[in-house]
Chains A and B, each alone.
Chain A
Amino acid sequence: MSAKKRRTATDDLLRGVWRENPVLVQLLGLCPALAVTNSVVNGLAMGIATLAVILCSNFLVSLFKHWIPDAIRISTYVLVVATFVTVVDLLLAMILPEVQKALGAFVYLIVVNCMILSRQEVFASKQPVGRSILDAAGTGLGFLIALLLMGSIREVIGSGTFLGFSLFGPSYQPWTVMILPPGGFFTIGFILLARNWLTARKDRRSATRRWPHDLSWERPAA
Chain B
Amino acid sequence: MNGLVWIFISAMLVNNFTFFYFLGLCPFMGISGRVETALRMGGANVFVLVVTSVTAWVLNTFILPYAPFLRLISFIVVIASVVQIVEMTIKKFSPRLFRELGMFLPLITTNCAILYLAIFQTNRGYDFLEGLVFAIGAGAGLTLALVLMASIRQQVDLSDVPEIAKGSALVFLIAGVLSLAFMGFAGLFGGI
Query: Which residue from chain A places its CB closest to the CB of B23 in the assembled complex?
Result: A31
**Number of residue pairs A-B, CB distance < 8 angstroms:** 111
> Are A79's CB and B76's CB within 8 A?
yes
Interface residue tally of chain A, by bracket? Answer: 35 or more
> Do A112 and B168 have beta carbons less than 8 Å apart?
no
Confirm or deny: B133 has a beta carbon within 8 angstroms of a beta carbon on chain A.
Answer: no
Asked whether A180 is an interface residue with its Cβ less than 8 Å from the other chain, the reply is yes
Query: Does A10 lie at the interface of the complex (its beta carbon under 8 Å from any beta carbon of B)?
Result: no
Contact string against A for B residues 80-92, beta-carbon threshold 8 Å, 1 for contact and 0 otherwise: 1000000000000
Tell me the minimal C-beta distance from A182 to chain B in angstroms: 4
Whole-angstrom CA separation of A182 from B177 in the bound complex: 7
Contacts of B5 in A (CB 8 A): none
Instruction: For A105, give the chain B residue with the smallest CB separation.
Output: B119
Q: Is the CB of A114 within 8 A of B172?
A: no
CA distance A105 to B169 in the complex (A): 27
Question: Please, which residue of chain A has its CB at the minimum distance from the CB of B25?
Answer: A30
Task: Tell which of A35, A117, A193 touches B22, judged by Cβ atoms closer than 8 Å.
Answer: A35
Task: List, in ascending order, chain A residues with CB within 8 A of B77's CB.
Answer: 75, 78-79, 82
With both chains docked as a complex, state the minimum distance between the C-beta of B137 and any C-beta of chain A, in angstroms: 18
A83: B residues at CB distance < 8 A:
73
Contact between B73 and A182 (Cβ–Cβ < 8 Å)?
Answer: no
Q: Which residues of A contact B114 (CB under 8 A)?
A: 112
Complex contacts, B72 vs chain A, CB 8 Å? 82, 85-86, 89, 108, 111
| Chain A positions 111 through 128: 1 when the CB is less than 8 Å from some CB of chain B, otherwise 0 | 111100100000000000
The answer to whether B22 and A30 have CB atoms under 8 Å apart is yes
B107–chain A nearest beta-carbon distance, Å: 11
Which of B19, B172, B175 has the most CB atoms of chain A within a 10 A radius of its CB?
B172
In the complex, chain A residues whose CB is within 8 Å of the CB of B111 = 112
Query: Residue B125 at the A interface, CB < 8 A?
Result: no
Q: Quick one: which of B76, B123, B170 has the most chain A CB within 10 A?
A: B76
Name the B residues within 8 Å of A190 (CB-CB): 169, 173
Q: Which of B19, B73, B112 contacts A82 (CB 8 A)?
A: B73
Known: A35-B21, A105-B116, A189-B172. A78 touches B76 (CB 8 A): yes
> Do residues B163 and A78 form an inter-chain contact, with CB atoms below 8 A?
no
CB-defined contacts of B69 to chain A, threshold 8 Å: 86, 90
Shortest Cβ distance from A36 into B: residue: B22
Binary B-proximity of A178-189 (CB < 8 A = 1, otherwise 0) = 001111111011
| A78 CA / B111 CA spacing, docked (Å) | 13
| A92 to B166 Cα, complex, angstroms | 40
Instruction: Please state if A182 and B169 are interface contacts (CB–CB under 8 Å).
Output: no
Bound CA span A200–B165, Å: 11
Tell me if A196 counts as interface (CB < 8 A to partner B).
yes
In the complex, which residue of chain A has the Cβ closest to the Cβ of B19?
A: A181
Residues of A near B12 (CB, < 8 A) are none
Contact call B73/A181, Cβ cutoff below 8 A:
no
Which one, A35, A82, A177, contacts B180 given CB within 8 A? A177
Q: Indicate if B154 sits at the interface (CB-CB under 8 A).
A: no
Partner of A181, one of B22, B112, B168, B169: B22
Known: A112-B114, A184-B22. 4 other contacts (CB 8 A): A86-B69, A108-B116, A182-B177, A185-B179
Partner-B contacts on A (CB < 8 A) = 27, 30-31, 34-35, 75, 78-79, 82-83, 85-86, 89-90, 105, 108-109, 111-114, 117, 177, 180-186, 188-190, 192-193, 196-197, 200
11 contacts between A and B (CB under 8 A): A27-B29, A75-B77, A75-B80, A90-B69, A105-B116, A112-B115, A185-B173, A189-B176, A192-B168, A192-B169, A196-B167
**CB-CB nearest 5 A-B residue pairs:** A185-B176, A189-B172, A192-B169, A189-B173, A196-B164
